[in-house]
């Protein structure tokens, strides 16, 4: 349909209610043919109540049910909600912090800094943190999100003003979160987890939009920190629980989907309301998790660098959510409609809102701004990262015989990881070049570049 937009025609024979739309250039669209991601976009177009199109961002790759990078919007009253179209790691999001220091000022202490971060912040599969939540406290976290963490001493009120949705989704229902999910989350607040989750120390190495960067408190050469994690085992279990609920309810509601991974229920059904309440609760847990990690990172920086909180001023620039569904009002065919926008590995890109796009740990990450074009074209959505090229198994195989940690050090990046294959699974070659992804969304106009960050040190699970 143009240099940055591709169309999957609506095929009624396979149950598609709308076409598919993919934001990509020729180079990126070619890389999408190696997995089932485009077929998953077409499957997403079969969801009851879907409007306009099933959409995909340029970091698209195969996921569970809907591809990572997928966006589908369903009518909030006559449509459905699908746990698989949101994802297991509910509100897996990214937070950017900026310091009142130049990266060059701490270069000689970077090794000690990354070691201290790695020693302080729990990483890895099933990791447990220092925060143990009793049932009432866990309910408070699930209802209040980041505000609970600030009230408990993990940060300041100003942090909340720089988080998507102020760090709390209203309408959370802790009572709809299962005992198993609660038990999995009880000791995981303040943990990074595994996979592509990370805490990264960075430097601002390119500024594209000086006024916008200045307004966000960023400047060339500045020390920054990026945190990428979500709702941990609690969110995973919420998705698991409600996929089972939705799968059993399909026949009762007369719903047919081409892939049971896209099992769904009417948004206004009892099951739909229960899932929404649990999903919002898990999202709030993730906001609180990133808030606790923020405060612990501040304490490590202050201790290792020998500076006070005021001089360090490690401030939240912004915090964005992925793997989430939100009720929003959008224009569809000239009419304003209430929609449930499922963003599976995609970022909200409302006009003027900061958008954080992490890359791989060997290259760079980006800060963008949302636009009016995104509101017209993609339900206010954009990319969320680089997108995988290799599965974790394929990446480990490709890294055999190599020392990924030493290769990263040669690039100027200090890395620490818990799992035996953690660095191999997440090596730079396992991902698309995030610059290619960002170029597409910038040129298409659904988000515009503000600054680029180069990694200096990273901890992973």
- Ordered DSSP codes for 70-99: EEEEEETTTSEE-GGGT-SSTT-EEEEEEE
89, 326 contact by CB (below 8 A): no
pLDDT in tens, 379-402: 999 999 999 989 999 999 999 999
pTM score > 0.95 for this model? Answer: yes
- The predicted pLDDT at position 302 comes to 97
User: Beta strands of 269-358 (E only): which ranges?
Assistant: 315-321, 324-332, 335-344, 347-348, 354-357
Q: How far apart are CA 214 and CA 229, in angstroms?
A: 27
Name 335's bridge partners: 332
- The predicted pLDDT at position 254 comes to 97
Q: How far apart are CA 177 and CA 190, in angstroms?
A: 19
Q: Is 286 helix (H, G, I), strand (E, B) or coil?
A: helix
Q: How far apart are CA 89 and CA 141, in angstroms?
A: 17
Q: Is 418 helix (H, G, I), strand (E, B) or coil?
A: coil
Name 324's bridge partners: 343
Residue 419 predicted with pLDDT over 80: no
**Of the candidates 345, 356, 229, 232, which has an alpha carbon nearest to the alpha carbon of residue 282?**
232
Q: Is 359 helix (H, G, I), strand (E, B) or coil?
A: coil
- The predicted pLDDT at position 187 comes to 95
Residue 373, token pair as written in the block = 């074009």
Phi, psi of 168 (to 5 degrees): -155, 125
Which residues are catalytically annotated? 384
Cα–chain center distance at 173: 22
- The predicted pLDDT at position 129 comes to 79
Q: How far apart are CA 37 and CA 6, in angstroms?
A: 14
Residue 456 predicted with pLDDT over 80: yes
User: What's the half-sphere exposure (Cβ side, CA atoms, 13 Å) at 36?
Assistant: 8
Name 266's bridge partners: 80
pLDDT in tens, 80-135: 999 999 999 999 999 999 999 999 999 999 999 999 999 999 998 877 878 889 99
Class of domain 5-460: alpha beta
pLDDT in tens, 286-344: 999 999 999 999 999 999 999 999 999 999 999 999 999 999 999 999 999 999 999 99
Q: How far apart are CA 177 and CA 185, in angstroms?
A: 11
Name 199's bridge partners: 227, 459
The mean per-residue pLDDT over the stretch 152-171 comes to: 97
Q: How far apart are CA 135 and CA 123, in angstroms?
A: 24
Would you say the C-alpha torsion 51, 71, 9, 256 has a positive or negative sign? negative
What is the torsion angle, in degrees rounded to the nearest 10, for the CA atoms of residue 12, residue 13, residue 16 and residue 22?
Answer: -100
pLDDT in tens, 200-247: 999 999 999 999 999 999 999 999 999 999 999 999 999 999 999 999
The mean per-residue pLDDT over the stretch 169-173 comes to: 98
Residue 290, token pair as written in the block = 């990133």
- The predicted pLDDT at position 128 comes to 82
- The predicted pLDDT at position 343 comes to 98
């Amino acid at each position: 349909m143009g240099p940055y937009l591709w169309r999957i025609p609506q095929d009624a024979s396979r149950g598609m209610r709308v076409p598919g739309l993919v934001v990509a250039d020729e180079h990126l669209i070619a890389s999408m043919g190696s997995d089932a991601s485009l077929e998953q976009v077409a499957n997403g177009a079969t969801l009851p109540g879907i409007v306009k199109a099933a959409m995909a961002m340029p970091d698209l790759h195969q996921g569970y049910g809907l591809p990572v990078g997928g966006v589908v919007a369903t009518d909030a009253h006559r449509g459905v909600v699908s746990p698989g179209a949101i994802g297991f790691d509910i509100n897996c999001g990214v937070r950017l912090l900026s310091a009142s220091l130049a990266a060059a000022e701490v270069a000689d202490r970077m090794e000690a800094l990354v070691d201290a971060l790695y020693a302080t912040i729990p990483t890895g599969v099933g990791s447990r943190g220092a925060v143990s939540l009793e049932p009432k406290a866990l309910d408070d976290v699930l209802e209040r999100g980041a505000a609970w963490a600030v009230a408990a001493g993990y940060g300041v009120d100003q942090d909340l003003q720089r988080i998507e949705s102020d760090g709390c989704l209203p309408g959370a229902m802790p009572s709809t979160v299962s005992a198993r999910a609660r038990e999995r989350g009880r000791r995981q607040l303040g943990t990074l987890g595994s996979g592509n989750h990370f805490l990264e120390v960075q430097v601002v190495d390119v500024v594209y939009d000086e006024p916008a960067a200045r307004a966000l408190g960023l400047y060339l050469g500045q020390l920054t920190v990026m945190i990428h994690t979500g709702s941990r085992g609690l969110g995973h279990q919420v998705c698991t629980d409600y996929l089972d609920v939705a799968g059993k309810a399909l026949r009762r509601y007369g719903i047919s989907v081409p892939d049971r991974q896209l099992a769904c229920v009417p948004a206004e059904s009892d099951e739909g309301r229960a899932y929404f309440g649990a999903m919002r609760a898990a999202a709030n847990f993730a906001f609180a998790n990133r808030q606790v990690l923020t405060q612990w990172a501040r304490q490590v920086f202050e201790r290792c660098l020998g500076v006070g909180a005021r001089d360090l001023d490690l401030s939240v620039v912004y915090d964005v959510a992925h793997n989430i569904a939100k009720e929003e009002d959008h224009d569809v065919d000239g009419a304003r409609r209430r929609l449930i926008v499922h963003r599976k590995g995609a970022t909200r890109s409302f006009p003027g809102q900061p958008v954080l796009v992490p890359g791989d740990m060997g290259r760079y990450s980006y800060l963008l701004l949302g636009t009016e074009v995104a509101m017209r074209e993609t339900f206010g959505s954009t990319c969320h990262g680089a997108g995988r090229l290799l599965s974790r198994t394929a990446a480990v195989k490709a890294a055999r015989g190599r020392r990924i940690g030493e290769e990263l050090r040669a690039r100027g990046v200090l890395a620490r990881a818990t799992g035996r294959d953690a660095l191999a699974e997440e090596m730079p070659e396992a991902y698309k070049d995030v610059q290619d992804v960002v170029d597409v969304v910038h040129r298409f106009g659904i988000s515009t570049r503000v600054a680029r960050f180069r990694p200096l040190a990273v901890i992973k699970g």
